[in-house]
């Protein structure tokens, strides 16, 4: 039997061999247990600030994290082709108050040819803007006053023309950044320094070292031994070797190899004091991950290297905001105390702080929304923002919504493997379900949960069977035994759904069922890459349904889904038409239960919970996506949730909401529900409301209650004939 739920609303009538449809009978008679489930994702973390500013600097040529106002916190600075500098000031958490710092037009050299640099050249703790002219070797300085950059003044002329790289770094340890250039035209590998006087000039440039770094791919400057003077660091990507030339404040001396085998094939490298011990460490970025090797003062210690920041941020899928790979990759300190990795993508500045050695920070576990490029912003009552799925306030709000919509269980998404931060959030929701069940009020019914797993995808044969058995054991040990009082039971056993690719994969696994004791503890059901109305998909639990007539007709369960897109397969929502057609088939075939995909799995655009889709994302994929609106294009974030609530309470309890709208299949007529009747309103679609598509002759045959938005019964409809039809008969008499 299905889970027994002590609620009179869930007892509905089924008379076998009846001529009339199920919705024509009153709520008395032989009982049949109905259930309604909804797929719920706990893959939403939001534990710390991540996106520090949005929609700013997207078209910049250069990006910097530098302290322009001297408060010890790094600010976001951008430079645009044409001579414009802008800054957004750090408040310790976010970058705020973006403003122009300088707009400069060169008098002689084309401004677009100037190379921008940043450093504190006058020693006042505020980073200044510097232009280097590669054609003339001129250095122009725009000093920061903490609010803007002053007009550029030439500090040096004719030094560094034709050089391969230029730096601003304090090589003599006097607190003022000096001008440095690396010359490698004939593989001489020479480093020249012009010391800053802090008042308006870089002194005579002198050669500090030669034959250093001439075969390297990267040249950097940073104080790696903690003596207060910046050193030269070079790196070769082919073998990951790092060499250092230490500054003695008058010259650079080759200190030899400091590390090998670190950063082969990386995308870019940086030097920064990550652990805040006054010695700069080395770091590299590759495919969204940042790796750090810490300086001991005499080497970059291979025993002190780590994967420091994970997933910050590779390019996102076309179906998930379609953000490009980061244009800027920096390290700095927004707070002034902890180092963070910054990825700049399409105007989003994403900074992950990590002050811990040997423990990486994962972007998805900090802010899943921005790390994965989720294009939706939830619009819950009283909370129009992203959230953490471990927040009990959010859990309770969602649970109340799902309960009031008539659902009896949540299917929790554990289909993406064992991820502690996902599993922990699933447990938090389970705990709130149990709390709900212990504090029922009035006509509230108990809620239940079950688990879906998916680690066997892309496996075959015995390997797939072993994985399914492993996940069955994990579900038993981690989710069923500790929380069995709230676990959803189907046919006398707890329900567990496995996501495999195709029905043939399921058949392969079932060959080994006799060798799978934990598998046999459950009522096992299946998800596939796609389901259609065909025999081997009957009583499956998703995943996508791409066709309007595609939800399989099952006696145990039928699925409904509003739309889908994963960057490959897609099903356009068509402003609710796909969803209406799925629900119509449910009402026509009257299964024992219905399963909705999904409440909040917005990663693949199946969610029905109130949300706002980023219009830029929708416009970029207009053939598939659109902002949720009513039938007239007016934004309606809860369009699909209102439809879900109305359909599910009709299915579960045979209830219609007051003033809701109906349309029978194969008819253009629109009807509105009143307290004790159903009125035809014409053929014009309503505003700010969905219209439920129902079976032919539904309105004439329907027998059930009319409820208010607060779910109170305020009227009854019994075998309702349209009001206009009744009036016409009276007129004929």
**552: domain CATH number?**
3.20.20
Instruction: Give domain status of residue 406, yes or no.
Output: yes
Angle at 23 between CA 17 and CA 29, to 5 degrees: 65
The pLDDT confidence band at residue 325, using thresholds 50, 70 and 90, is confident
State the pLDDT at residue 176: 98
Q: Residues 211-237: pLDDT tens digits?
A: 999 999 999 999 999 999 999 999 999
State the pLDDT at residue 21: 75
Q: Judge contact between 276 and 262, C-beta under 8 A.
A: no
The pLDDT confidence band at residue 22, using thresholds 50, 70 and 90, is low
State the pLDDT at residue 168: 98
Q: Which DSSP category does 292 fall into? A: E
Q: How many domains does the chain have?
A: 2
State the pLDDT at residue 722: 63
CA distance 721 to 700: 5
Instruction: Give domain status of residue 98, yes or no.
Output: no
Residue count of the chain: 733
* Percentage, residues of the chain above pLDDT 70: 94
State the pLDDT at residue 15: 37
Q: Which residue has the tokens 């030899």?
A: 256
State the pLDDT at residue 303: 86
pLDDT exceeds cutoff 60 at 727: no
State the pLDDT at residue 25: 60
Instruction: Give domain status of residue 728, yes or no.
Output: no
pLDDT exceeds cutoff 80 at 23: no
H helices then E strands: how many in the chain? 11, 46
The pLDDT confidence band at residue 16, using thresholds 50, 70 and 90, is very low
Q: Residues 505-518: pLDDT tens digits?
A: 999 999 999 999 99
Q: Which DSSP category does 250 fall into? A: S
Q: Residues 544-573: pLDDT tens digits?
A: 999 999 999 999 999 999 999 999 999 999
Instruction: Give domain status of residue 342, yes or no.
Output: no
Q: Which of 211, 236, 261 is the last residue of a domain?
A: 211
Instruction: Give domain status of residue 71, yes or no.
Output: no
Task: Give the dihedral of Cα atoms 485, 490, 491, 496; nearest 10 deg.
Answer: -100
Nearest alpha-carbon partner for 527 in 512, 544, 513: 544
Q: Which of 40-49, 417-426, 593-602, 719-728 has the lowest mean pLDDT?
A: 719-728
Instruction: Give domain status of residue 69, yes or no.
Output: no
Full residue range of the structural domain in which residue 535 is found: 382-707
The pLDDT confidence band at residue 579, using thresholds 50, 70 and 90, is very high
Q: Which of 211, 245, 262 is the last residue of a domain?
A: 211
SS3 of 99-135 = EEEEECCCCCCCHHHCEEEEECCCCCCCCEEEEEECC
SS3 of 178-236 = EEEEEECCCCCCEEEEECECCCCCECCCEEEECCCCCCCCEEEEECCCCCCCCEEEEEE
Element (H, E) at 369: helix 368-372
pLDDT exceeds cutoff 90 at 399: yes
Angle at 326 between CA 364 and CA 565, to 5 degrees: 60
Top-confidence residue, 665 or 722: 665
Instruction: Give domain status of residue 296, yes or no.
Output: no
How crowded is residue 68: how many other Cβ atoms within 10 Å of its Cβ? Answer: 28
Nearest alpha-carbon partner for 719 in 699, 705, 689, 733: 699
Q: Is 22 strand, coil or helix?
A: helix
CA distance 161 to 597: 63
* Percentage, residues of the chain above pLDDT 90: 88
Instruction: Give domain status of residue 202, yes or no.
Output: yes
Q: Which of 195, 211, 227 is the last residue of a domain?
A: 211
Q: Judge contact between 84 and 49, C-beta under 8 A.
A: no
Token pair, residue 125, equals: 């703790």
State the pLDDT at residue 322: 81
């Amino acid at each position: 039997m299905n889970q027994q739920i002590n609620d009179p609303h869930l007892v509905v009538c089924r008379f076998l061999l009846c001529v009339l449809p199920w919705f024509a009978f009153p709520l008395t008679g032989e009982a049949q247990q109905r259930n309604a489930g909804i797929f719920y994702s706990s893959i939403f973390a939001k534990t710390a600030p991540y996106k520090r500013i949005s929609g700013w600097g997207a078209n910049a040529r250069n990006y910097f994290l530098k302290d322009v106002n001297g408060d010890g916190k790094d600010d976001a600075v951008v430079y645009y082709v044409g001579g414009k500098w802008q800054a957004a000031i750090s408040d310790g958490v976010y970058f705020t108050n973006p403003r122009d710092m300088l707009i400069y037009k060169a008098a002689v050299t084309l401004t677009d040819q100037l190379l921008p640099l940043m450093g504190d050249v006058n020693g006042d703790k505020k980073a200044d803007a510097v232009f280097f002219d590669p054609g003339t070797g001129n250095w122009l300085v725009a000093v920061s006053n903490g609010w803007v950059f002053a007009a550029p003044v030439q500090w040096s002329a004719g030094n560094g023309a034709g050089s391969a790289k230029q730096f601003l770094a304090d090589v003599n340890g006097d607190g003022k950044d000096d001008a440095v250039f690396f010359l490698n035209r004939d593989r001489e590998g020479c480093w020249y320094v012009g010391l800053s006087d802090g008042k308006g000039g870089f002194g005579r440039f002198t050669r500090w070292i030669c034959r250093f770094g001439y075969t390297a791919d990267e040249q950097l400057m940073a104080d790696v031994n903690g003596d207060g003077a910046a050193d030269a660091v070079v790196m070769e990507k082919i073998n990951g070797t790092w060499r250092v030339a230490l500054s003695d404040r008058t010259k650079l001396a080759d200190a030899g190899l400091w590390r090998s085998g670190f950063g082969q094939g990386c995308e870019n490298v940086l030097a920064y004091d990550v652990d805040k011990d006054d010695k700069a460490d080395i770091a590299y970025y590759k495919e969204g991950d940042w790796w750090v090797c810490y300086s001991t003062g005499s080497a970059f210690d291979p025993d002190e290297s780590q994967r420091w920041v994970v997933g910050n941020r590779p390019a996102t899928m076309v179906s998930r905001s379609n953000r490009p790979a980061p244009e800027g990759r920096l390290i700095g300190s927004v707070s002034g105390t902890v180092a963070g990795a910054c990825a700049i993508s399409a105007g989003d500045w994403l900074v992950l702080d990590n002050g811990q050695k040997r423990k990486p920070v994962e972007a998805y576990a900090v802010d899943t929304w921005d790390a994965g490029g989720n294009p939706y912003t939830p619009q819950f009552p009283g909370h129009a923002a992203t959230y953490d799925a471990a927040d009990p306030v959010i859990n309770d709000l969602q649970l109340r919504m799902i309960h009031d919509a008539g659902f009896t269980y949540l299917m929790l998404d554990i289909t993406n493997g064992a991820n502690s931060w996902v599993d922990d959030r699933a447990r938090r929701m389970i705990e709130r379900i149990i709390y709900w069940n212990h504090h029922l009020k009035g006509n509230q019914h108990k809620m239940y949960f079950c688990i879906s797993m998916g680690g066997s995808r892309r496996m075959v044969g015995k390997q797939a069977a072993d994985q399914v058995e492993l996940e069955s054991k994990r579900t038993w040990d981690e989710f069923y035994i500790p929380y069995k009082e709230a676990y959803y039971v189907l046919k006398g056993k707890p329900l567990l759904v496995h996501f495999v690719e195709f029905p043939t994969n399921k058949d392969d696994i079932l060959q080994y069922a006799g060798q799978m004791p934990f598998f046999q503890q459950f009522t096992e059901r299946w998800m596939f890459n796609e389901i259609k109305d065909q025999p081997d998909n009957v009583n499956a639990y998703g995943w996508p349904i791409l066709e309007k007539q595609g939800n399989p007709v099952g006696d145990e369960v039928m699925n409904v889904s509003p739309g889908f897109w994963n960057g490959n397969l897609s099903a356009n929502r068509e402003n609710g038409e796909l969803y209406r057609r799925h629900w119509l088939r449910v009402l026509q075939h009257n299964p024992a239960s219905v399963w909705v995909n999904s409440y909040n799995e917005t990663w693949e655009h199946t969610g029905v919970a109130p949300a706002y889709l980023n219009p830029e994302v929708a416009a970029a994929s207009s053939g598939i996506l659109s902002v949720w609106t009513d039938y007239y294009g007016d934004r309606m974030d809860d369009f699909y949730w209102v439809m879900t609530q109305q359909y599910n309470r009709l299915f579960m309890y045979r209830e219609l909401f007051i003033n809701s709208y109906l349309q029978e299949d194969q008819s253009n007529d629109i009807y509105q529900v009143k307290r004790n009747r159903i009125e035809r309103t014409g053929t014009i679609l309503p505003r700010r409301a969905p219209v439920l598509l129902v079976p032919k002759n539904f309105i004439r045959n329907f027998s059930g209650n009319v409820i208010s938005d607060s779910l109170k019964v305020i009227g009854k409809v019994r075998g309702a004939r349209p009001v206009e039809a009744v009036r016409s008969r009276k007129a004929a008499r």
